[in-house]
Structure 1
Amino acid sequence: MQNYLKTISNTILFTGFTENEVQQALSCLDGTIKDFAKKEVIFRTDDILDEVGIILHGQVLLCKENISGMRFIFSELGEGGILGETALRLARERSNYEAVAGVECKILFIKINKIVRPGQKTCHLRGRIIENILALLLENNRSIYQKLDLVSHKSLRARILHYLSLQAQKNNATVFEIPFSRSDLADYLTVDRSALSRELQRMAQEGYIRFSKNQFELLDAKSYMQVF
């Protein structure tokens, strides 16, 4: 646990905590670290969640299936990300999505009743953690609206360029690596993988982008703006 203290301290749950306070909270919350192999399911749709996970290392893909059984990725979480937030509602509701390890992962799980269950002995820092949970819910809403904005674009090219522009902003650079394989990117954009590959090649030939595997470069911002 000590090796990941910095990562844990930088998560939304512990915003505003000193390193000493984080250590106090962790000893009280009594979390458990679990390892997951690449593509291993962390929890499934309809699982009842009673704990929140903090990603200490790796990447987690949050997935859903449409009515025809086709999988799509609606969010990607990296180091410091929080998953299982539906447990925060305390209603023992079932998850409505699946969490899968995108790469090998190490995740710290904390039982939600250690944080927010009233009438039980809890950490004295509980109130501040609960305030941060509200910030987490707001951040999740922001991510949902961002994804809706992405898929609102009807053309495949517009979706690709919209996504790449967000990644460029996130990295504050026109050259960056995306966190998806080509197959996972197709699932995230909710498009066919073969169509995605063909469109990426056309965009490279036309001077919009340059790419190699998961490294991309936006080349012509003016032309990009004309797409929308």
Structure 2
Amino acid sequence: MYEEWVDVLHKTDLFRNINKEELLVMLHCLSPRIRKYDKNEIVSIEGHDIDGIGVVLSGALTISKDNFDGSRVIINKLDSGDMFGEIAAFSERRLWPATVQAQGECHVMFMPPEKIVGSCQNACLSHKLLIMNMLKIVSNKAMNLNRKIEYLSIKSIREKICKFLMEQYKKQQSTTLHLNMNRNEMADFLNVTRPSLSREMSFMKDEGIIDYYRSSIKILDLDKLGECLS
């Protein structure tokens, strides 16, 4: 059951530096559940009990929260190999902090958190490394939450766009950016309305700062983009 997903899991941060043979042994020790979801199917609901830490094996998921006015804010988008629920799984309440939904057909693996950090009955050689990897992941996630707070504190729509594009530029090491979200999802992530986002991006295009087509954005003037953040 686990053999077909070993190649995917071997590339994840959770199983970093763990060879495939040891990984397969560890999976039988952890006894994770694997579930298939169809497009738009809900994977987890905000406020419900957590039944395991999720790892996306195939497909893509969106993580979102609902505001009091009924609007939805997309917090993140997950692709194959990404993990979710790892912070809340070790909290006292152990409730899903957000809603997770399948964007298309996908497979998700759920691992019991107590088996990840607990003592290994089979004395897996790499279990200590697994725990260290988990600690690094949780620490990095805390840093990313600070990043989201930074976006919420920025008042200017243009500054939000410039900050987002500059982060993507540094991440992708290219002025041609391929985003894993559409315009609606980008607006939700930046906590702005879709019309406001489109209008400001149109202004930036007219000024020769960027060009775009669908989910691809090309930075034409990196200096001007940086000036928005100074």
Matched with 1:185 is 186
Matched with 1:108 is 109
Matched with 1:142 is 143
Which has the higher mean CA deviation after the structures are superposed, 152-161 or 57-66? 57-66
State the 1:111 CA deviation.
2.2
> Matches of 2:29 and 2:221 in 1, distance apart?
52
> Matches of 2:166 and 2:216 in 1, distance apart?
13
Where does structure 1 lack aligned partners over 5 or more consecutive residues?
none
Contact 1:56–1:107 (Cα < 8 Å) also in 2 = yes
Matched with 2:27 is 26
> Matches of 2:39 and 2:213 in 1, distance apart?
22
Contact 1:25–1:123 (Cα < 8 Å) also in 2 = no
What's the % identity of the aligned pairs?
27
Matched with 2:202 is 201
- SS of the aligned residue for 1:12 comes to coil
Matched with 1:98 is 99
Structure 1 counterpart of 2:226, which letter? M
Q: 1:7-86 counterparts in 2 under 5 A?
A: 7-86=8-87
Structure 1 counterpart of 2:23, which letter? V
Which has the higher mean CA deviation after the structures are superposed, 23-32 or 1-10? 1-10
State the 1:8 CA deviation.
0.5
Structure 1 counterpart of 2:64, which letter? C
Structure 2 counterpart of 1:155, which letter? S
> Matches of 2:214 and 2:104 in 1, distance apart?
16
Structure 2 counterpart of 1:165, which letter? M
> Matches of 1:142 and 1:86 in 2, distance apart?
12
Give the direction of change, closer, same or farther, for the CA distance of 1:122–1:144 in structure 2 (3 Å limit): farther
State the 1:66 CA deviation.
2.5
Structure 1 counterpart of 2:104, which letter? V
Deviations 1:182-224 (A, max 9, x none): 1111111111111112222221111111111001111101111
Which has the higher mean CA deviation after the structures are superposed, 75-84 or 89-98? 89-98
State the 1:36 CA deviation.
1.9
Deviations 1:68-102 (A, max 9, x none): 23211122222211112145316452122111223
- SS of the aligned residue for 2:117 comes to coil
Aligned length: 227
> Matches of 1:103 and 1:204 in 2, distance apart?
32
Alignment RMSD: 2.0
> Matches of 1:87 and 1:152 in 2, distance apart?
24
Which has the higher mean CA deviation after the structures are superposed, 136-145 or 32-41? 32-41
Contact 2:162–2:226 (Cα < 8 Å) also in 1 = no
Where does structure 2 lack aligned partners over 5 or more consecutive residues?
none
> Matches of 2:6 and 2:47 in 1, distance apart?
32
Structure 2 counterpart of 1:182, which letter? R
Give the direction of change, closer, same or farther, for the CA distance of 1:213–1:106 in structure 2 (3 Å limit): same
TM-score, normalised relative to structure 2: 0.89
> Matches of 1:190 and 1:92 in 2, distance apart?
27
Contact 1:53–1:82 (Cα < 8 Å) also in 2 = yes
